[in-house]
Structure 1
């Protein structure tokens, strides 16, 4: 059994965190990952009410195992009830990223909650350490969903490990035991994984969306702000999103200024989301999507990552 700061802190069997993918991971997926021996998390959508957070926390905690919650700092000034609900639920870990997260670190820590933040550059990691977070997630540009696309995972991880003294997790492009073994060998305390779970029935993805994921190869993602601008979401501009490439993205990439005022395009995207038309609607996923080749349970995915132990012992010569 692999033992790291992450496994010891949260009583895990595998040094693995299920990334808090807002709109994809709710309490059900978080509970499944935690029950399987990882640390499951659910992501809080930008406008989710406090009642939703409380409901999902109850589901995530039903297994009796530790779980976590992901918050987006840029949304909290307009939705303070999200933080209140998280403080009330007392999850084991809260990730708060993308915006001014620093004011929320101490309230969470005073409640006995470990705090993580995702850093896309070494400078962001140094700032996170100064802010007092418990664990830094070095998230490379390969990762799905939102974040920076300036540095890929391996060079970022090396830089962050050289610069900060606290525990570091690696995120972006890690979808198999080989990836987990690689980042552990480099010095990370575990992996932060989202895309690997997209083939699981425990996500909130529809059947057609999962089929689209499974049919996509390693070059089938694209990074940008098209889908955020079309929805009029106020994401900080430095944090674009990586999603499956589709016709809507290709039509508007490079034309974001016009898209910001095109109400017909906005309506098209909204309608496509309701209809499950993924030539227009988005599915966020990272570059590891080509490694997601079949539908599995979350427990299957966590168990497969557990093989990192054998890989490390094999190449370590023990």
Structure 2
């Protein structure tokens, strides 16, 4: 198995991070990914109290292996208990992304925590480096969930690797050993994968959502702000979300201003989430969703990524 900054820093068997997926991956998924030899993370929803963070951190720590937590910088000013709980838990890695990083990097690093930030442009990566992060995640527009959609993973990774001096991980479309081999060969210190784990039993996805995800093809996602606007979420507008395309998205895409004033549509989405109607409710996923075809345990997904060793060894053959 290739040794990289990521594997050496955290004692990993596979140079891979399970991305923090708020609302889908909690402490249970993080623990399963870490126990399998990668680094598992859980994402903190914008309105989660510090007590929830503490509970999930305890679950994630149960693997006895390093784990991480993902925070949304734009949400932290209104939820100070989240940062307090993270500092108390002292995970190995914390990702702070999507907003002003400056108030949070030094407190985290001062607690002995490695700090990452996801970046969707080269300028954003440089800003994260100036803020003092330990590692930048070059996240291309293929990625599921929230982030920028300006640049795809491969051109972004090449540019960021040339621009910054800190280690770089690659996110967006990294869903198999082939994808991991590609980004390692380019110079990344590891992969950052979310969609690959969406079919796992350890996620919090409801059965109907998982079934829809497993049936989706590679062209089955769409990017935009429809679901955030409908819920009145305060995501910065530059960070839309990539999710499975559905009827609700198609109806409102391009009509976000109108949607922001339509209380009926807001109630419709709320009811659909409660009732498991995924023609209206959302399932965030990236363009690699077509590679997720079966429900599998997280350990099996990590084991699949471990085949990167065989792929990369081809380059070493005489």
Into which bin does the TM-score normalised by the smaller protein fall?
over 0.9
Structure 2 residue 28 is the aligned partner of structure 1 residue 28: yes
Give yes or no for contact 2:21–2:43 (8 Å, CA) kept in 1. yes
Q: How does 1:96-111 map to 2 (within 5 A)?
A: 96-111=96-111
TM-score, scaled relative to structure 1: 0.99
Structure 2 residue 260 is the aligned partner of structure 1 residue 260: yes
> Secondary structure at 1:77's aligned position in 2?
helix
Give yes or no for contact 2:140–2:152 (8 Å, CA) kept in 1. yes
Q: Residue 314 of structure 2 aligns with which residue?
A: 314
> Secondary structure at 1:55's aligned position in 2?
helix
Give yes or no for contact 2:101–2:128 (8 Å, CA) kept in 1. no
> Secondary structure at 2:78's aligned position in 1?
coil
TM-score, scaled relative to structure 2: 0.99
Flag structure 1 segments of 5+ consecutive residues without an equivalent. none
Give the number of aligned pairs: 318
Inter-partner Cα distance in structure 1 for 2:146 and 2:69: 16
| TM-superposed deviation, 1:101 | 1.2
Flag structure 2 segments of 5+ consecutive residues without an equivalent. none
Q: How does 1:205-284 map to 2 (within 5 A)?
A: 205-284=205-284
Moved more, 147-156 or 124-133: 124-133
| TM-superposed deviation, 1:317 | 2.2
Deviations 1:57-96 (A, max 9, x none): 0000011100000000000000000000000000000000
Inter-partner Cα distance in structure 2 for 1:31 and 1:204: 14
Q: How does 1:1-318 map to 2 (within 5 A)?
A: 1-317=1-317
Q: What is the alpha-carbon root mean square deviation over aligned residues?
A: 0.6
| TM-superposed deviation, 1:315 | 3.1
| TM-superposed deviation, 1:131 | 0.8
Inter-partner Cα distance in structure 1 for 2:130 and 2:46: 26
Deviations 1:228-249 (A, max 9, x none): 0000000000000000000000
Give yes or no for contact 2:195–2:288 (8 Å, CA) kept in 1. yes
Inter-partner Cα distance in structure 1 for 2:316 and 2:126: 31
Inter-partner Cα distance in structure 2 for 1:133 and 1:308: 27
| TM-superposed deviation, 1:208 | 1.2
Inter-partner Cα distance in structure 2 for 1:37 and 1:248: 39
Deviations 1:268-288 (A, max 9, x none): 000000000000000000000
Deviations 1:19-41 (A, max 9, x none): 00000010000000000000000
